[in-house]
Amino acid sequence: MTRDHWIAAGFDALDHDGDAGISAERLARRLNVTRGSFYHHFRSRNDFVHALLAAWEADYADRMLAHAAAGRSLEEVLERYLAIAAEKQPGRETAIRAWARHDPLVAAYQQRVDQTRLTFAINACRTRTDASVDADLVGRLAHLCLIGGQESGDRMQPSAFARRVQDALTLLGKSPFLHRA
């Protein structure tokens, strides 16, 4: 039994039971081992939560944003960015957001991941659009679509989701309501 086994079991518990499943006893039962094995790898539940959330942050922010950055055009970058919402265990993201509402440690990780993603989306828009586009607004909208896609359970194909976002942006740009004083 390794730390990675415990972290994988933690993600499985989070995916199926929410944060209520994150305890040494429940995880040990899930793995069919004693709690002593848990404490061999982690000093405390808090230590485990740090390890679990650090693994989530590395996968759901760092690696996914590197994948998104490899897009050739802004549309492809945003499509890849929005794929996070559809492809990477969106229920896990929802469970972490729910957990963050009542646990300050989890909230700190969630806020950092959100800020990293938002900064990425805004910077991608700034570097791949001309000055006539409000890149900050487009980046923020993409970020909110990512969160909304996860929270709403909208699990359509990432390219279809990105197209719908692009269509919405086009419609917004043509809206007379945006040009009223």
pLDDT category, 80, cuts 50, 70, 90?
Answer: confident
- Domain match, 14 and 50 both: no
High-pLDDT (> 90) share of the chain, %: 52
8 Å CB contact between 7 and 55: yes
Same domain, 31 and 66: no
**For 109-167, what is each residue's pLDDT tens digit?**
999 999 999 999 999 988 887 766 688 888 898 898 888 877 776 555 555 666 666 67
Choose between 56 and 157: higher pLDDT. Answer: 56
Do 94 and 53 fall within a single domain? yes
Structure tokens that stand for 82 in this block: 């929005």
Q: Do 99 and 35 share a domain, yes or no?
A: no
Q: What is the pLDDT of residue 31?
A: 95
74 close to 84: Cβ distance less than 8 angstroms: no
Domain count, the chain: 2
Nearest to 57 by CA among 16, 5, 108: 108
User: First and final CA of the chain: distance in angstroms?
Assistant: 64
The pLDDT score that the predictor gives to residue 135 is 82
| Residues 145, 57 share a domain | yes
Query: Tens of pLDDT along 59-74?
Result: 988 888 999 999 988 8
pLDDT at residue number 60: 85
Report the pLDDT averaged over residues 9-30.
95
- State the CATH number of the domain containing residue 38: 1.10.10.60
Higher pLDDT, 120 or 168: 120
Kindly state whether residues 128 and 152 are assigned to the same domain: yes
Q: Give the C-alpha distances (Å, rounded to integers) separating 51 from 26, 46, 55.
A: 17, 9, 6
Considering the domain architecture, whether residues 102 and 30 belong to the same structural domain is answered as no
Residues 74 and 126 in one domain: yes
**Within a 10 A sphere around the Cβ of 133, how many other Cβ atoms?**
15
User: What b/e sequence results for 20-49 when a residue is b if at least 16 CB atoms lie within 10 Å of its CB, and e otherwise?
Assistant: ebbbbebbbebbebeeebbeebbeeeeebb
- The verdict on 134 and 69 lying in the same domain is yes
Do residues 33 and 49 share a domain? no
| Domain extent at residue 168 | 45-179
Considering the chain, what percentage of its residues have pLDDT values greater than 70? 81
For residue 49, name the pLDDT band (cuts at 50, 70, 90).
very high
**104 and 85, same structural domain?**
yes
Predicted confidence at residue 145, as pLDDT, reads 83
Is 180 in a helix, a strand, or coil?
A: coil
User: Is this model's pTM higher than 0.85 or not?
Assistant: no
Does pLDDT of 3 surpass 80?
A: yes
Residue 101 is given by DSSP the state: T
Are residue 72 and residue 146 in the same domain, yes or no?
yes
